[in-house]
């Protein structure tokens, strides 16, 4: 017998599918992060997941080769709001297991930490990418977003809601874990991403 879309059995099936999708998203996030550590917050876990996707976003930047500093390296900056130890952990994860940071798109990389949302120390040589390792205050976040737009820098925050607030890139956890990009900020930053990357990316708005 054919079950109508509005029947109780059909509703139960759809509800079950939604539950499975939510469970799948959680499982994918856990796989991406590895086993959770006791005492780790959700923000810590999102940051660990985001540091992996940050490299993918940077590699998709079609203008990456032109963003090398005077030493021919890509400068990646980890921004923190006071928790330097956590930022150092993420910097190590971003660097990889070797003595030197793993190259990105065939280009040498150097990684620095800062808690200055104006990035004034970098003067005329802005970084190629900025990773927000700790949720900043609203004003600091606006300053970071403005800096990224003005200097054509890939700014990435793994924290929920930050892409909607103007951060260029982030992390979407839905039926699957995937990159998340703010379309308006991307355009205002004059950054073009590879087509294949955009195909697997959630775009806001």
Beta strand 129-132 with 74-79 is parallel
158 vs 65, 74, 121, 128, 161, CA distance in Å? 24, 21, 24, 17, 9
Contact criterion met (CB below 8 Å) for 129 and 154: yes
Domain ranges, residue 40: 8-204
Coil/strand/helix, residue 144? helix
Coil/strand/helix, residue 129? strand
The verdict on residue 130 lying in a domain is: yes
- Tens digit of pLDDT at every position of the chain (205 positions): 443 444 555 545 555 344 333 433 444 444 444 444 445 788 888 999 999 999 999 999 999 999 999 999 999 999 999 999 999 999 999 999 888 999 999 999 999 999 999 999 999 899 999 999 999 999 999 999 999 999 999 999 999 999 999 999 999 998 888 999 999 999 999 999 999 999 999 999 9
Q: In whole angstroms, how large is the CA radius of gyration of the chain?
A: 19
Residues 6, 12, 15, 16, CA torsion sign: negative
The verdict on residue 137 lying in a domain is: yes
The verdict on residue 3 lying in a domain is: no
The verdict on residue 135 lying in a domain is: yes
Question: Per DSSP, which regions of the chain are E strands?
Answer: 74-79, 109-114, 129-132, 154-156, 169-173, 177-182, 202-204
Q: How many structural domains are present in the chain?
A: 1
* 156: nearest Cα among 178, 180, 130, 186: 130
CATH number for position 118 = 3.40.50.2300
Beta bridge partners of 156: 131, 169
């Amino acid at each position: 017998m054919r079950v109508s879309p509005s029947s109780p059995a059909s509703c139960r099936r759809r509800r079950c599918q939604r539950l499975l999708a939510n469970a799948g998203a959680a499982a994918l996030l856990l796989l991406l992060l590895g086993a959770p550590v006791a005492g780790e917050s959700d923000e810590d876990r999102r940051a660990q997941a985001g540091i992996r996707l940050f490299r993918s976003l940077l590699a998709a930047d079609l203008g990456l080769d032109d963003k090398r500093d005077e030493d021919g390296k890509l400068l990646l900056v980890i921004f923190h709001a006071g928790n330097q130890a956590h930022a150092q952990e993420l910097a190590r994860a971003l660097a990889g297991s070797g003595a030197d940071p793993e190259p990105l798109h065939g280009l040498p990389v150097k990684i620095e930490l800062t808690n200055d949302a104006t990035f004034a120390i970098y003067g005329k040589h802005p970084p190629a990418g900025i990773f927000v390792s700790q949720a900043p205050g609203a004003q600091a976040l606006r300053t970071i977003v403005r800096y990224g737009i003005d200097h054509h820098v890939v700014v990435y925050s793994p924290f929920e809601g930050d892409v909607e607030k103007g951060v260029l890139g982030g992390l979407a956890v839905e039926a699957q874990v995937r990159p998340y990009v703010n379309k308006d900020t991307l355009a205002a930053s004059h950054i073009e991403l590879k087509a294949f990357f955009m195909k697997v990316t959630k775009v806001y708005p």
